[in-house]
Amino acid sequence: MAEAGNRHFDIIIVGAGFAGLYLIHKMRALGLSVRVFEKGDDVGGTWYWNRYPGARCDIESIDYSFGFDPELEQEWEWSEKYATQPEILRYAQHVAERFDLRRDISFETRVEKAVWDDETSGWSVTTDKGDTLTSRFFIMATGCLSQPKDIDIAGIENFTGEIYRTHSWPHEGVDFAGKRVGVIGTGSSGIQSIPLIAEQADSTTVFQRTANYSIPAGNGPIAPEKRAVKDRYRDYREEARWTRGGVPGPVAMDLALVTSEEEREQRYEKLWAKGAISHLALEFADLLVNLEANETLGQYARKRIRSKIEDPAKADILTPTEFPICTKRPCLDTGYFETFNRPNVDIVDIKKDPIRSITATGVATRDRSFDFDALVFATGFDAMTGALLAIDIVGRGGQSLQDKWADGPASYLGLAVEGFPNFFTITGPGSPSVLSNMILSIEQHVEWIADCLDHMRGERLDVIEATATAETGWVEYGTASSDMTLFPLAKSWYMGANVPGKPRVCLPYVGGVGAYRRACNDVVAQDYLGFRFDGPGGTRCNDGLVRRQQPDVVALLEMLDDLDLPPFESMSAAEARATSEAMSAGNPPGPAVGDVVDGEYPGAEGPLEYRLYRPQTEGPHPVTLYFHGGGWVLGDHASDDAFCRDLCVSADSIIISANYRHAPEHPFPAAVDDGFAALNWVAEDIEELGGISGALAVCGWSAGGNIAAVVCQLARDAGGPDIKGQVLITPVVDGADDSPSMTDNAEGFVLTRALMDWFWDHYADPAVRADPKASPLHAADLSNLPPALVITAEFDPLRDQGKAYAEALGAAGTEARHISYPGQIHTSFTAVGAIPTANDARQEMAAALRQSFRAMEPA
């Protein structure tokens, strides 16, 4: 062992890559003793091992470098936009020397086992040298792409030629001159190495299972504007910390699907010319969430790829088609596709002609056999969990990490694991890690841990452990985040799909480094929410979930927070209307429908506008009369356009969005009188409108839900029109509500209590609010009303009154169903395209409408 006799440390760390190096530096600064064990004979981690020809970073070096020390970042000069592996390795070595880090590292030593001991509140760590050491904390800094995937091709042991693997390339290099080389694998490693192998070799044959997207790196000297970053590195790094991928750059809010083809093409051209993957998927806000939008970039990429390959048969094989672009890690290349224009380079599509086995002399596919002098495997890694599970880590009660993660990794923030006290993972599963600039993410984890250990020391706490509640909550949040995206559609290593038998879960957190950093900071700000501490300073735990809303809701709330708009209730009605219109201007458009017709209907006191949405299917159709939201003050017949389109398509119903007079110009009961007039008009004219006679339902959101509920009562009392069903979305039904949801959700979720008061104050004098036409919950009789579906949101001041209305309807004998959606807010359900986690709720509403109409069909 390198250190003289010491067998106990404050911290034992596995891995001397960038994470291990920075950990030593930070832990030393805290005055803690550290020992790092590293399998290789020097520092550098992934850059120590992956020495294949062409290996480079795929995040620009100005970004892919440490930001913790201003002197370090000024003194180091990168020679190229994307540095080569030797240069990055030299950088790691420079860092080790500059901060005198090697003296705390035991090289050529593999950690085999680590066991938590409850008695001593520490870890016992065993190495392949037979040593057992102890520590208070145990940190895995083993990297995300360090454990190679087993080669799952039969017969490799029979091959008599040379075998190379990109992830553990010979340090002395390989001379392929005069050799026939077979390469298996076309991920980043294959795509980077193939052009250089092909330059040397007599012949090169590439076996490709899945064609991959790659864009030209445009490598070369660092552009002057990028070099100028060094003059403002501090600000630049800070900016990077709050981005999505850890690299500053423009983030589009606009959508590919509402941008003209011409403009899209121009933007994609520019994107290609940049030669960078860090912002590829951020060019439009819908590229990673909407398949059709994604396809616009996919098509462009395919066109560019095809244009480089002369032989159409080779182009067919090399052009990717099997997954949405950017759902597998996109590659950066230098002359990859052009390499296949060489006469001595071939591509074999092993999806069509699968490899049967490796033979003594080469590769046998189903239809052909190939002879090689050397085989190169670029077949990838058991990503993110492989290296963590390669060591036998045993936590509390003898539970191993392998057992705990048998069905997929469970981790709090990708940092800590319940049942494994004083154990941290750097860039573990559940953190942005591989979807980000790794060095920046490493720094954030190391700094978070250092702050945590410092806090523990200050509070005299010895043991920290994530709680089950917090861990499960974060895992669910991570899954909900990835489920909103297209990532699950690819058989990628992000999804664990490249390793046979590996659980299929999205391993990284997809929400971006900024959102993630905010979550980590929020945990700290809430007294380390979701962590249990123990020690002489006491036992303490503020348990709970760091993110309680759905991920898209969180993103929306964070965006609104950043905008820091004045509250509506501080504005005049006219200002509020203008602001509301401006805010909805960029909303996603909603799906195409058969027809949209604007017209006028006879309101209670004069003509009012309506917008009719007709399905693409053949009519006549049932009709749903819809009332928009906006607290009786804001909005109009067109303001919930995307939602009306969505409902039209999913319910296969004509939707008529009828405007009504707004307060304060037209206070109570103008809105409901207009609503009832609209109902009578639709019922009378239903066939002329393309509807089926009698097939009429109502639906409304918020104040529109109030109108829908009221018109059902008015129609019942008036003896018609007959309404087949009512769908009430977060409706206002009680002007005197003071239930817990009013207090719990009073602030912070778009509709605030203050805003609701402001709406009421504009709409109805307190003296009339108890009138059932204003507060339908207060109706003396709630029987014989149309079957109702009431949708409420967990984080909505109106949650409890919606629930109360459904219960009161049910108690009076009216068929009523109530669904409360966890993690949603008042505005979630109509936000089509913006809040995809409410898609289920929208499907429920459509199903309820279809059910109402079905009920009238003869059995």
CA–CA dist 629, 675 (Å, integer):
13
Q: Which of 496/615 has CB closer to ligand N01? A: 496
Q: Which of 210/752 has CB closer to ligand N01? A: 210
Q: Which of 185/432 has CB closer to ligand N01? A: 185
CB of 336 to ligand N01, least distance (A): 12
Q: Which of 425/713 has CB closer to ligand N01? A: 425
Q: Which of 336/643 has CB closer to ligand N01? A: 336
CB of 345 to ligand N01, least distance (A): 17
Q: How many CA atoms are closer than 13 Å to the CA of 402, on its beta-carbon side?
A: 10
Query: Phi first, then psi: what are they for 36, rounded to 5°?
Result: -110, 135
Q: Which of 192/726 has CB closer to ligand N01? A: 192
DSSP-assigned letter for residue 622: E
Tokens 């980077």 sit at which residue? 192
**Of all residues in this chain, which one has the CB nearest to ligand N01 in the complex?**
187
Other CB atoms within 10 A of residue 398 CB? 9
Q: Which of 422/433 has CB closer to ligand N01? A: 433
CB of 217 to ligand N01, least distance (A): 9
CA–CA dist 139, 20 (Å, integer):
9
CA–CA dist 442, 444 (Å, integer):
5
**Geometric angle at alpha carbon 247, from 245 and 252, rounded to 5°:** 70
Distances in whole angstroms, Cα of residue 248 to Cα of each of 6, 60, 278, 662: 44, 11, 9, 44
Binding site for ligand N01 (CB under 6 A): 56-58, 145, 152-153, 166, 184-190, 192, 209-210, 329, 350, 378-381, 434, 493, 498
**What is the identity of the amino acid at 515?**
A
CA–CA dist 318, 340 (Å, integer):
9
DSSP-assigned letter for residue 351: T
Q: Which of 49/758 has CB closer to ligand N01? A: 49
CB of 350 to ligand N01, least distance (A): 6
Listed in sequence order, the residues at least 6 apart from 316 whose beta carbon sits closer than 8 Å to its beta carbon are none
Q: Which of 505/699 has CB closer to ligand N01? A: 505
DSSP-assigned letter for residue 820: E
Maximum CA extent, the chain: 95
How far is CA 531 from its chain centroid? Answer: 24
CA–CA dist 87, 57 (Å, integer):
10
CB of 390 to ligand N01, least distance (A): 17
**Geometric angle at alpha carbon 510, from 508 and 511, rounded to 5°:** 135
CB of 299 to ligand N01, least distance (A): 20
**What is the identity of the amino acid at 712?**
C
Is the Cβ–Cβ distance between 820 and 760 less than 8 Å?
no
CA–CA dist 392, 140 (Å, integer):
12
Cα dihedral across residues 427, 332, 365, 370: positive or negative: negative
Q: Which of 355/515 has CB closer to ligand N01? A: 355
Q: Which of 156/406 has CB closer to ligand N01? A: 156
| DSSP, residue by residue, 87-121 | HHHHHHHHHHHHTT-GGGEE-S--EEEEEEETTTT
CA–CA dist 396, 466 (Å, integer):
12
For residue 798, which of 751, 764, 748 has the smallest C-alpha distance? 751
Q: Which of 135/379 has CB closer to ligand N01? A: 379
Other CB atoms within 10 A of residue 710 CB? 28
CB of 154 to ligand N01, least distance (A): 10
Q: Which of 430/630 has CB closer to ligand N01? A: 430
First-to-last CA distance in the chain? 83
CB of 163 to ligand N01, least distance (A): 14
CB of 379 to ligand N01, least distance (A): 4
Tokens read off for 39: 């399998």
Tokens read off for 464: 């920290």
For residue 815, which of 854, 852, 768 has the smallest C-alpha distance? 852
CB of 655 to ligand N01, least distance (A): 44
**What is the identity of the amino acid at 463?**
V
CB of 61 to ligand N01, least distance (A): 11
In this structure, the strands spanning 355-358 and 362-365 are antiparallel
CB of 192 to ligand N01, least distance (A): 6
- 3-state secondary structure at position 254: coil
CB of 57 to ligand N01, least distance (A): 5
Tokens read off for 352: 């069509």
CB of 52 to ligand N01, least distance (A): 8
Q: Which of 193/852 has CB closer to ligand N01? A: 193
